[in-house]
Amino acid sequence: MKLYFKPGACSLASRIVLNELNIPFTAEAVDVAEGKTESGKNFRLINPNGYVPVLEISEGVHLTENAAILQFIADAEPTSSLVPLNGTIERARLQEALSFAGSELHKAYSPFFRTPDMSGELRAQSIQNAYKKIQHIENQLADGREYLTGNTFSIADAYTAVILNWSNFINLDLAKFQNVKDYLDRILSRPSVVESLRQEGLIEGNAA
Ligand SMILES: N[C@@H](CCC(=O)N[C@@H](CS)C(=O)NCC(=O)O)C(=O)O
C-alpha cells in the first residue's frame, strides 16, 4: 500500500493507523498546491479533487476520503480494537465520530488554513465556530472516557487528534477545554503517533 500525504495534514491520521497496526506501507509526499507528487506524477490523475490523503491499494487502485481510507486500513486487521465489527451499534458510533471529525471539526479548522492572515471579526467568528465543535468533544469526554467511543483508541481518535493538534499552528487556544487537552496529550504520546510525527519530519528523532 502507498499513502499519498502532505506533512502534518489530515493524511497523518492514515499513517498513524498504518503504524498502529504495523502494516507495511510506502509514502509519497504531494505538493497539493502544484498538483504534483514527490516523484513528479500529476496528482490530479490520482485524485481529481486534488487533496490528500489517497491510499493506493494496488497499482492504479486509489481510495480517497479520510473516513473510507481509515476504515479500509483498520478492517485489514479485524481483530484489532481500532474498529468494531460492521453492523454493530459500536461500529455505527465509530462512524458517527468519524463523520463528526470530517464534516464538522475538520471543516471548522479549514478557514484558518484557507485564509492564514485572517483577522478581526472573521477570525473571531471562525474561532467561535471551532470552539462550538470542540465543546462537543469536551462534553463527550466529560464522563471520564479516555477516547471518543470508550476506553480504547480507535481510528476516529487518530483523525480527531490530528485536527485538534492543528490548534498549535493556528494559535487556537484550547485552555478552556481540559478534557480535550488531556485527550490530545494522551494520543500524542502513543508510540504510533510519535513515530508518525517523526516520519513526517514534524518532530526530531531516530526511527522507532
Ligand atoms: N474530504 C476530504 C478532505 C481532505 C482534505 O481536506 N485534505 C487537505 C489536507 S488536510 C488537502 O489536501 N487540502 C489541499 C487542497 O484542498 O488543495 C477527506 O476527508 O479526505
Q: What pLDDT sits at residue 78?
A: 84
Nearest CA to ligand 1 atom 3: 65
Class of domain 89-190: mainly alpha
Quote the pTM value.
0.97
pLDDT digit string, tens, across residues 137-195: 999 999 999 999 999 999 999 999 999 999 999 999 999 999 999 999 999 999 999 99
Pocket test residue of 10, 109, 115 for ligand 1, highest count of atoms within 8 A of CB: 10
- For CA atoms 155, 63, 27, 44, the dihedral sign is negative
What would the grid cell of residue 157 be?
Answer: 481518535
User: Which of 5, 12, 44, 52 for mutating ligand 1's site (highest number of atoms within 8 Å of CB)?
Assistant: 52
How far apart CA 83 and CA 78 sit, in angstroms, is 7
The verdict on domain 2-80+193-199 having CATH code 3.90.180.10 is no
The answer to whether the peptide bond before residue 53 is cis (omega within 30 degrees of 0) is: yes
Q: How far is the CA of 60 from the centre of ligand 1 (A)?
A: 20
Q: How confident is the prediction for the chain on average, in pLDDT? A: 97
* Shortest-distance Cα residue to atom 11 of ligand 1: 51
Contact yes or no for 200/7 (Cβ under 8 A): yes
The domain segmentation of the chain, as residue ranges, is 2-80+193-199, 89-190
